[in-house]
């Protein structure tokens, strides 16, 4: 499972709980761009919309020019089992819980996104974690 990209901010800003593996609905050119490393996680998050989960604000830059109009930071549907989606929808409705993208990797030539349920750290918790790290 080679890791293509990690979300470094997530460990600093959140306490992680359960992790899930999700497929991503991508266009063909997005797959090639992601495998080349042309993706930016900064500011991306997972949001429930219409009983589905979407990866919002992840920026995938194309390798070359495309003929059609494209949106770099479009919403991408996450592919999970229905019971996992229902569990995550229930968790996301809980107060102060979030679903965050952790890392992007390949499995059997498929691009997967590791997402985790998380709770935001307060400022003093972030600084304590930073002090322990050093």
| 124 band by pLDDT with thresholds 50, 70 and 90 | confident
Q: Please report the beta strands in the chain, taking only residues with DSSP state E, as ranges in sequence order.
A: 3-6, 14-24, 39-40, 45-49, 52-56, 59-60, 76-79, 97-107, 110-120
Domain count, the chain: 1
Answer yes or no: are the C-beta atoms of 66 and 32 closer than 8 Å: no
What lies within 8 Å, CB to CB, of 26 at 6+ separation is 34, 76, 111
Which residues form the domain of 18? 3-133
Predicted local distance difference test score (pLDDT) of residue 11: 84
**Residue 75: what pLDDT?**
92
Arithmetic mean of pLDDT over the chain: 88
Tell me which range, 38-42, 112-116, 127-131, is most confidently predicted by mean pLDDT: 112-116
pTM recorded for the entire structure? 0.87
Residue 67 confidence (pLDDT): 65
The rounded percent of the chain whose pLDDT value lies above 70 is: 98
17-59 per-position pLDDT tens digit: 999 999 999 988 889 889 988 898 888 899 999 999 999 999 9
Q: What's the CATH code of the domain at 9?
A: 2.40.280.10
pLDDT tens readout for residues 59-72: 988 887 776 777 78
Q: Which residue has the tokens 């059997």?
A: 108
């Amino acid at each position: 499972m080679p890791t293509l990209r990690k979300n470094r901010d997530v460990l600093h800003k959140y306490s992680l709980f359960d992790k899930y593996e999700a497929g991503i609905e991508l266009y063909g050119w997005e797959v090639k761009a992601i495998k080349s490393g042309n993706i930016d996680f900064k500011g991306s998050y997972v949001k429930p919309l219409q009983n589905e989960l979407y990866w919002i604000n992840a920026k995938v830059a194309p390798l070359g020019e495309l003929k059609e109009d494209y949106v770099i930071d479009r919403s991408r549907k996450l592919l999970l089992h229905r019971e996992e989606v229902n569990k995550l929808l229930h968790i996301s409705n809980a107060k102060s819980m979030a679903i965050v993208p952790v890392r992007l990797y390949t499995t059997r030539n498929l691009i997967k996104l590791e997402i985790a349920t998380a709770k935001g750290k307060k400022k003093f918790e972030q600084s304590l974690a930073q002090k322990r790290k050093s």
